[in-house]
Chains A and B, each alone.
Chain A
């Protein structure tokens, strides 16, 4: 089946690392994505990872993929107030590029 789950809220102190977790169900997903949505705005692609990779790093962002457990995480180093947003995990279970989104994790960064 198609289902992506995320915890709904995360609160961190400015300067700390944030880790947002996601589980997905479809092992045929070739790519897994992280999108960011700021208040009142559209979805901004943050990063993606190919399913045969374990890790991908892009500046302050680190994506870890455990394909056996179907677990994906996004780590944001040195979290800033501008990182406050909703973060969506999405899988792409093959076929017609139909993205299946999680419910989003609302990240709040406080001083």
Chain B
């Protein structure tokens, strides 16, 4: 029944490793997002995809690569993990983006993936 789900919930890894976080939504939405929440709880958008196409690509190191195999999934792959990548990563989805109303634009968030890089 979960609308937006993420796996894993927790991820502890060593510096330099490569890891992936997966996100799936069963809301039938076209648009999906990745946000990063740092240790001070500050939330910032990283990427968004609409129907498998990249829409937003904020100033994010190119070690971060999103992949959308279909519109219900948006995965985040991180290469060469650094200490500063430790954060909570949230996936979100919306019906559409920036077009025609609150119903279409409202974003629903997943439970988050807590990444700790040692």
Question: Chain B's nearest CB lies how many Å from the CB of A70?
Answer: 19
Stretch in B12-20, B41-49, B70-78 with 4+ CB within 8 Å of A: B41-49
B75-105 with Cβ < 8 A to chain A: 90, 92, 94, 96-98, 102, 105
Would B41 and A104 count as touching, CB distance under 8 A? yes
Q: A97-B48, A98-B56, A104-B41 are in contact. Are A42 and B112 (CB under 8 A)?
A: yes
Would A101 and B105 count as touching, CB distance under 8 A? no
Would A98 and B43 count as touching, CB distance under 8 A? no
Q: Complex Cα distance A31/B48, Å?
A: 18
A86 at the interface (CB under 8 A from B): yes
Quick one: CB contact mask for A36-72 with B, threshold 8 Å, 1 for yes? Answer: 0100011111001010000000000000000000000
Question: Chain A's nearest CB lies how many Å from the CB of B86?
Answer: 16
Would A43 and B31 count as touching, CB distance under 8 A? no
- A-B contact list, 28 entries, CB within 8 Å: A30-B105, A31-B102, A31-B105, A31-B106, A35-B109, A42-B4, A42-B110, A42-B111, A42-B112, A43-B90, A43-B92, A45-B107, A45-B109, A48-B102, A50-B102, A88-B43, A92-B105, A96-B56, A97-B31, A97-B94, A97-B98, A98-B45, A98-B56, A99-B45, A101-B43, A101-B44, A103-B40, A103-B41
Instruction: Name 8 extra pairs, CB < 8 A, besides A98-B56, A101-B42.
Output: A44-B109, A92-B105, A96-B48, A97-B98, A98-B48, A99-B107, A101-B43, A104-B42
Residues in B lying within 8 Å of A, measured CB to CB: 4, 31, 35, 40-45, 48, 55-56, 90, 92, 94, 96-98, 102, 105-112
